[in-house]
Amino acid sequence: MWRLIAVVALATCASWLWRPICANAETNLVKNGDLAAGSEGAPADWYALSSDRKLSKFSWTYTPAEGGALGISNLNPNYASWHQALILRPGIYEISAEVSVEGAQPHAGGANIAVSTYDGIRLISRHLHGTAGWQKLSFLLKEDRWGDSTELLCQLGVAGFPDTGRASFRNIRVIALTGPPPGGVRGVRGFDLAAIRLHYHEQVRQPDTRVSIRAAGVACGLILLGILGWALGTIWRPALGAGRSAWMLPAGLMLAITAVKFAALFHFTGFYWDIWSKTNRALLAAVLGPSRIYDPGLPVDAYPPGSLYLLWLSGWIGRLIEPGANGFRVIVETPPLIADLFIGLTLYFAAWRDGRGLRAMIVMMLFALNPALIFDTVVWGQSDSIVALPMIAAAILILTGRYRLGWSAAAIAILAKPQAIAFAPPLGLWTLFNAGLGECGWSAGAFIGTVAIGIMPYQLGHSWDWIINVYKDLGTRFSEASVGAFNFMGLIGGMGTPDTDKIFGGVSYSAFGLSLAGAVYLIASYLIWRARSARGAMLAIFVALFGFFMFAPRMHERYLYYPLVLLIPIALESGVLTSIFGVVSATFLFNLVYIKHLTDTSSYFPDHPNAALIAAASINLAVFFAATAYGLLRIPWPAGRGEQGQG
C-alpha cells in the first residue's frame, strides 16, 4: 500500500514538474499571456521592476471586450519592464506581443520585448519609438540547450538606454515551431543562441571543464553536509536511542507537514526577484563550475559560498530532468523545506532531553505550524531556514558543552548567509566564560577549518582576500536605513532612506543604528555573563538577534526569522516568553505580508512612516524592551537536565 502511494505521489510530482514543457506546438508557453487573470491591479504571473521605481508607474487593465494589457509609464528617463520566468527546451520558438507606445524618445531604448539568458545575454526585438499604435513585435529564437533562457521581458527602455513615455503590451506569446520557417520570416529578427555564444566566445563566460575542480567542490559540499549531519545526530541521539516511541510520531507529523508545504509550492510562486536570482545562480553554478561562479560581470549578485552548494545541486538536477520554469522553481525551493523538516525535528529532540515528550511536541509545533515561518519559506520562497538550521544546531551544542562541533555548525551558518554572524558574539562569550581560553582556541580552529573547507573550491583562481571582499560586498549591497523591516530605523523615517542621511545634527542613520546595536550587544553580553543555564543564555542570544534586527541599519523584513526560531526552545519556559513569541510571530507575519503585497502590486513605501509601520514597529520595540527587562530582572534559571550548569 505504501509503495503504491509513493509511486502515485512521484508520478504526480513528475507531471507537475514537466507540465509546462510537454506542451504541443501552437500552445502558448507564456503563463497568462492574454493577461486575463489578476487582482488588485496586478496581473497574475507577471512582475514589474525598474531602475528607479519612483520614476515609473506600472498598470494592468482587463475588460472582456478589449482583453488585458500591461502598461509602463516613465515620468522621466528610466528603464522599466514586466518580467516572467521562462525556461525552454531545445527548439525553435517565436516570441511575440502586440505593443503600442506614446511619447517615447526617438533615439532611446523604446518599447520592446526581450528574452534574457541565465548568464546575462539579452535578445531584443525591434524598438518602437515616438508614438505608435498597436503593432506586432516578434523574433525567432533557436534554443540549443535546456535552461539557456530564463526570463521574458516587456520593456520601456533598455539597460543603459532609458526612455520616457508610455508603453502597452498585450497578446504576449511564446510558440514552439516544428521547424525553421522556410526562407525565414520577412522583417522578423532571428537569434541562434549557440551561434551567438560561438561568435562572442571571448565575451561570454566559459565553463571551467576541469573535473578536478568540480570533484573538489562535490567533496567539500559532502564534508560540510557530514559535519552538519554529525551535529544534528549528536542532538538527536538520546531520543533515537530510547526507541521508536520517542521519535515515530514527531517524525511522521513533520513529514506530513513537509509534504503539504511541498504541494503548496506549486501554488505559491514566491517573490519574483529572489526566485529569479536563485534560479540564475543555480544554473550558473551548474554550468560554469565553482571556480567561475564569482567571475565579475555575471548578472546576479555574489552570495556566500555556503548558499551555492545547494543551488549547484538544484541546477544539476534541473539540467538532468529539464523541467519547465515552474518545475525548476520548485526544485530550487525544495532545500529550504527539507531544512524546515530538520529544524522541527531538532527542536523536538533538544526539548525531549528534559524527558517531557508532550512539551517537546508542542515546541516542535511552535515552529512547524508558525504562520510567519511558513509564509517566509512557502509563500515568499526564501531560504532562511537553510541558515537557521545550522544556527539552532550550533546554539544547542555550544550551550550544552559540545563547543568544537557547535562552532563548526556555526561556521556553516555563516558560510550560508552573513546575517548568522550576529549570533556569534554571545556564543563566543559563553564559550569563553564556561570553557576557558584553551577550549576557545580549539573551537576557533574547528571554525576556521570548516570555513576553509567551505570556501576552497570557490577560492581557487582568486586572490587570498577574495572571501573577505565577498562579505564586504554583501555588507554594502543595500544602503537603506530599513529595507522593508518594521523596526526602529523604519519607525524614525528610515524606510527606503539612504542610511547616510542625517537624523539630527551630523548623526546619520547608520551611525545611530550601529551605536544602538552596539548597546544591545553590551546588554546581551551581561546576560551571558550572569546566565546559569543554557536557557538563560538562549534568552541572551534572542535579545542580541532581536535587538540587531530592531536597531541596525539595512535590515530586511525577513531577518526577524532568526531570532524567532532561536526563541522557540525557551518559548514555553514562562508566560512572558510565550507571549513574546506570539506577538513577535504576529508582527513578523504582518511585516512579510505587507511588504510582499507592495512588491506584488509594483508599489513602493511612502516617504514617511504610515500607520502600518508605526503600529508594527512600536509593538516590536515594546516587545524588545520587555524581553530585555525580563532577562535583566529575572533570577537566573537553574540548570535543567541535560544542560551545562556553569555560568
DSSP for 225-247 reads HHHHHHHHHHHHHHHHHT-GGGT
User: Which of 212-226, 307-321, 595-609 comes out lowest in average pLDDT?
Assistant: 595-609
pLDDT above 70 covers a percentage of the chain that reads 93
Residue 205 covered by a domain:
no
Residue 1 — very low, low, confident or very high, per pLDDT cuts 50/70/90? very low
Decide which of 180, 199, 218 is a domain's last residue: 199
Assigned C-alpha cell, 589: 507575519
Please say if the pLDDT value at position 345 is more than 70. yes
Residue 379 covered by a domain:
yes
Q: What 8-state DSSP symbol labels residue 467?
A: H
> In the block, which residue shows the cell 531544512?
339
Q: What is the pLDDT of residue 184?
A: 56
The stretch 136-157 carries a mean pLDDT of: 94
What's the one-letter identity of residue 32? N
Decide which of 158, 176, 199 is a domain's last residue: 199
Does one domain contain both 188 and 248? Answer: no
Does one domain contain both 92 and 220? Answer: no
Does one domain contain both 514 and 627? Answer: yes
Residue 486 covered by a domain:
yes
Please give the angle made by the CA atoms of 197, 198 and 203, to the nearest 5 degrees: 60
Give yes or no for a contact between 423 and 545, defined as CB atoms under 8 angstroms apart: yes
Residue 7 covered by a domain:
no
Please say if the pLDDT value at position 23 is more than 60. no
Residue 552 covered by a domain:
yes
The number of domains in the chain is 3
Does one domain contain both 148 and 238? Answer: no
> What are 377-414's pLDDT values in tens digits?
999 999 999 999 999 999 999 999 999 999 999 999 99
Does one domain contain both 151 and 297? Answer: no
* Residues 6+ positions from 316 with CB-CB distance below 8 Å: 286
pLDDT above 90 covers a percentage of the chain that reads 69
CA distances from 63 to 36, 37, 38 (A): 8, 11, 12
Please say if the pLDDT value at position 510 is more than 70. yes
Q: Helix axis angle, 325-352 relative to 248-265, nearest 10°?
A: 160
Does one domain contain both 371 and 226? Answer: yes
Report d(CA 263, CA 259) in Å as an integer: 6
Distance of CA 237 to the CA centre of its chain: 31
Q: What is the pLDDT of residue 646?
A: 37
Please say if the pLDDT value at position 41 is more than 90. no
CATH of the domain at 49: 2.60.120.260
Does one domain contain both 364 and 415? Answer: yes
Residue 1 covered by a domain:
no
Mean pLDDT of all residues belonging to the chain: 89
Report d(CA 337, CA 500) in Å as an integer: 37
Give yes or no for a contact between 172 and 46, defined as CB atoms under 8 angstroms apart: no
Does one domain contain both 463 and 559? Answer: no
Decide which of 199, 224, 246 is a domain's last residue: 199
Does one domain contain both 513 and 633? Answer: yes
Residue 499 covered by a domain:
no
> What are 591-640's pLDDT values in tens digits?
999 999 888 877 777 778 899 999 999 999 999 999 999 999 986 766 65
> In the block, which residue shows the cell 530538520?
342
Domain assignment of residue 164, given as a range: 26-199
Residue 172 covered by a domain:
yes
Our separate counts of H helices and E strands in the chain read 19, 17
Does one domain contain both 469 and 329? Answer: yes
Identify the three-state secondary structure at position 48. Answer: strand
Does one domain contain both 447 and 595? Answer: no
Does one domain contain both 551 and 599? Answer: yes
